[in-house]
Structure formats: C-alpha cells, structure tokens
A and B are shown apart, each in its own frame.
Chain A
C-alpha cells in the first residue's frame, strides 16, 4: 500500500531531518521564499533578537539602512547607549506588531499617540522609545521635536527599503487605556510613573496580531508598494509576565501565538516570508545548548547557527568565509557575536531588577 509519506525528502522526517543534526539544524530547515540581494536596501526592526540579524547582515556587505546614523565622533558603545546603529532607525525595541503599526501610521500622519512624554527624574523621555535617551531631554517640547525628526526619518526608511526584517517579540504590552496607545515597556520601568499613568495590561491575541500585521503591511505598501517582509519570532523567553500564568506557560503561549501568526501570514502572502530562528534555538534538538545559564539569553553559538542558515539560504556569506566580494572584517564572527550579545540592548532585562 502506498503511503503519502513514502517519497518525501529526509527533511520531512524527524529522525533524518532533526535528530542527526542536533543540537544544530540542517541547512534545509529554511528555504527562502525570495532572495535577498546585496543591492537590496534592508530595514530591520523588532525585539532584542532582531539586533543580531542586522549586525550579521551588515557583515555580509548587505545594505542595512540606517536613517539616523550616529555622529562620526561617537564610539560604538556610546552610540548604542543612545539607540544609534542598533536598528535602521532609532525606534528602540519594537516588541509587538501593534507598536509597529502605530509607528507606521504615525509617520504617515494617521495616528497621534497619547500620554507618550514621560518624566525621568527632572528630565523627559519619549515613552514610545524610552531607551534611546538614557539621560532624558530637558523639556517636553524638545521631546516633541526629537520625535518629529525621528518620524521623518522612519518614513524615509520605509520609502527606501526593499525588505523589512521584523522580529516579533511579545504579545504582552502596556496600553494607555483611554487612547489605545501601546508602549514598549510599562511606565515606571525606564521612565514615567505607573501609578499616575492610565496604562493597562493587554495580551494580544492571534486575531489582533494578525490583523495588526495586515494593517501594517497595507500602510507600508501605501508608502512603498514594492516592500517585502521577512518575519521571525524571537526565541528569547519572557523576563516576566503580567498575566496570571506562570512565566514559562506565558512564554509558550506568547511564542506559540506569534509563531502561528507568522506562519499564517507567510502561507497567505507572497511578499511575506517566515524565517525559523525560533525553532532553531528553542526546539528540542537544541537541548538548551544555545541558551546562557540564565536560560534566556541566546548564546553566541546559537546566534551564529541561526544566521548561518539564514545567510546560506539567501546565498550570502559571512565575512569569515572566503568570499572575495565581501568586505574585510578583522574580528572573528564568534567574538563579534559574543561582544554583541554582551551589549545587546534589551529593556526586558531591566524587569529583572523589579523581580528582586
């Protein structure tokens, strides 16, 4: 009797597709839906893990857009402290799709946030990107001016990009209840005051996230009709949950929801691809070897594994490989990855301080 599984390739079977490659994965875990050419203008955004993707792609010689570059005199370390050079613009971590939607609509003049200027001691910060000015700004109208400049840059970014790589990070978010404005962190974490804010917790559902992405895509296509998307899901577990669930249960629900949305979008839309970084790090084949002892931070070898698959699938080479076309990079990939991990900018880590 014929079986529908009879002539399937090895990648379709757990033993041949997974077990033999553990703790790594076979290259064919990912088949790119469309190629990334070096000439493409690539924009990156998303949660902490997205920082790795931009960093690696830069090293391949890909044109990772940066519409808000740091001053030339500024060292990399200080630049990162001010949110320069982490993503394609200084929007900080965009954990939820709703945040991305807000940003796209705001830079198109279709959305006005509310209660977004927070205090930080005597200073003021942009609550929609609270990490980018660690010392804060002197006056609220200065925050407004900085945001206007940022929005103009973001609109320019989306109009120039051929590809947006977006890493979905969280389903949980804090929302200004009367207006619906979503923030990347709760007031009181990096600035602002939770007690006096009108923020409420919200855990986005599959349908909400799906609809948000469809709306985001539509808004972006209005700016740039040829833009394409690669979605990933961050394998980094939640630092804390505001639900009633155990943090592990909340993490799995969050990741499963995001993964399901990404899969659905990729299956339905020709211009949306899904890259399985989540599976590569979080899957049972990894046996936890890609996590640091805190079982949360992704180790350099995990990032290297993920990016090796990504680059190979797109015909790109890391600078460590012998590619005459690639720009010279003196620092070994693993070293860079480790150094990068050490400096990863992630507000979620701050939550740990509140857990003590």
Chain B
C-alpha cells in the first residue's frame, strides 16, 4: 500500500451558522494526483484552507505522515511539507525568478550580502530537477502565467513540499502550457509527491487524476476513478441531479427567413500605435453574426479572440483600424465602450474581477451601472424603477444573492458572472460579445448560462462567444469561427466537426503550436 501523506478525517467547519464542511474524510497518498471536485461553495476551498493552515478552528483530525497535527498557519503547513499553488500567484513581479524562489530565505555571503551566485545555482538545480527551462534572471512580471506557475511550483518544492495543492492551475493557461504542466505534474508524481488537483475541467481530470473526490454541500458526495465513461456520474455527483444534456437547446426550429444579418466584418485589421507584444491583433478578419445566431470564436491563447472582441466593443488601444464593419447595415466603428453600448453592443469581459466588478459594491448598483440613463430623471436615479428592473433581472437569470444590496463579493463565481451578464442585458443589446463567460464557473451555473444564451438568441439577439473550452463552443454555438494569428483559419459547423478538427484549424501546422 502506498503511504498516506495526509489523512483528514471527520473534518467539520462552520462559519457562523453556515456549515462549510460536514464530516469530510480526505486522503492524499504519495505519488498520486487526487482531484477534488465540486460546485462553487461545495466546501473545496474550506477543506484546502484547513489543510494549508489558513483555518485553524475546525472539528476532526488532520494527520500528516500518520501523526495528528494542528497546522497553525500556512508557514506551519509548509514546514509539514504542504504547499498551495493559488489561482492568484503569490510572486513579486518586480523581482527575478531566482529572487522569488528564495524570497525570505536569501542565501548570504560571509559579509551578510546577497549571494547572487548561490541564488542562481539553487534556481538552476530546482528547474533542472523539474525539467523546465527558465532563465533565473528574468523578472517574474515578464513571464507568462504558465511560466510563473512553474516558478511557484519550483518554489514549493525547494521548500521540500511533499503535498501540493493546486487550485485551478490551468484556468489561465494556453493548451500548450497545459500539456507542459501535465508533464511536470507527472514527473512530480513519479518523485512521490502527492497532488491535490482542484478543477472544473472534466477533460483534464480524466487525463491527469488517479482518483477524484466530489464534494457537495460540504460533504463527500462520492469518490471515483476519473474516466470519460464516468463523466455523467461525476457531474451528477457534483450537482446532485443528473445533467442529461448540459448544452440542451430548448429551441424550436427557426424559419430560415428570420435570419437577419446583424454584424458584418470584412477585412478588419488593427494596427495599434504602440505595438502590444504577445498580442495578436485582428489581421484581415471576415466574420458575420446574424440576429438570433450564436457564433463561437475558437483559437489558442494569443490567437486574437480577445483583441477582436475589444475592437468590436471600442475598448481596444489607440490604433489604425481598417476594414469594413457594419451593424444592422450601418457603418460601425465605436470609439469607446460607451459608444458601443449606445449602438446596442454589449461585452462580458474575460477577467471578471479585473474588468467587470468591484467586489465590495452592491449587486443592484453593479447591475444597473451600464443602464443608468434608462433609470434616471434629470440625473436622479429612480429607485422604484431601479429596484423593479434589478429584481426582474435577478429572477430571469436566477441570480442567487442574499439580497439585491449584498456585496457582489459575497456571491459565488457563477452568480458574479450572472451579475456581469445582467449588466449587459439591462442595456438591451442587439449584439452580445462574451469572452470566456464560464471561466471559473461551476458546472451547474455553466448549464444555466448556456440556457440563458439560447433564450437570448431565440429572442433575436446575436451572440459572439469566445471560449477556450471546445465542448462549450461545439455544444452551444450555431457556427464556430477559428482564429489563428489574428485571422480566420476556419468557419465550421459544430454538427460536422469534432474538437480535434477545431484544434487542428487553430494550430499552424500539424504537431506545431502557435501561441
């Protein structure tokens, strides 16, 4: 039997009156990847916060190497060999890779000065052991997220971590980086490191995890060996009901005559005044979206999906824009998001917290922000009208919030995303642009968001949906446009293609990758 590194038994944790964990048993063995699944609010974070010493007042036992301990704080957990790689990485962007690696325990020379040579040697050794190639002298801020993550992993291992908790490690990674991360995780597994892998992405868990434990409402709902044939079972464990058809479209066949051209893009090319390294600007894009149509935008990271949506929303950088764009047959070249909104175009941006929400602000205020002009007289907000439209929108999108006045930050990721969506819908857009709308959203809320999109399309809205999740694109969209290096590589009908076809179109050459 493989030795158990960590055994958590009967873990119960309350926040005020809320039961976050109820008698959870969870183990991590040496050399295994143990996936932890569950919808947002199922208790995953709480459980892992107990394991990493963040929460210290809980019932039950945590045993490390068979010995019951009570971890006082994250540093104490680190001393016991437990490290956490958070979604928001804990690195100092201004410092170099090597400096970050030894932060707080810098090697000194005899004169008590920084021993830069020892620092670099340590970094090189650590990277060599992991099999990664990174220059220790580069500032961390200049690395891509995937590389920063590797630094974080190296840092944890240099602190002799034996248990690594990874919280949605692939959420911000390009596909090529995901496969590199998986190679490294595989290497760690062979070194006998135990890994707790938290993710919403079934495909990944099936590839990388040896075991999967599903939490629901703070308790263990079940444990499984992840495999494609177990997927429906896993999902039903998570949501507590069977999701027979996540993408099901409750749609009556639309007569073809209804298809009305909404957005026409021809030869759209963007040349920013100051070039943005690492970004692919639109370079001769042809695209169309009809009213009532959901068009998917596929492509690898850096293929220009986000840049295209930004341009269409007037949120791009100062640039020379050429090509013809029409909206409802009229020329359309928005200078600002405000101008785009005025023309009936809405955007759900990629980075919910960074670009859409202020977490301490109230749900209702956040929802109406873009539509205030509809709710004011002489600049004064009409409270009753505001309240009515907020409640109406919360009902339509099934937003779960304590109250309309609750802070946005108190909502789950899926409900926060619904608030962002609601803000756009309040402006009654004709064309809705969505950039990764289900990132960091649990399965249940994902299905709800898909239903909402279908309903909006049926009501005649045109939708342009950029996503890096292929099942989502193929399951939700009427057409999928694949971008590569800022240009259209393919225009596919999801009924005729598989995810592999989309990926093949997104890559430059077979086997080669394009970032």
Do A and B actually bind?
no
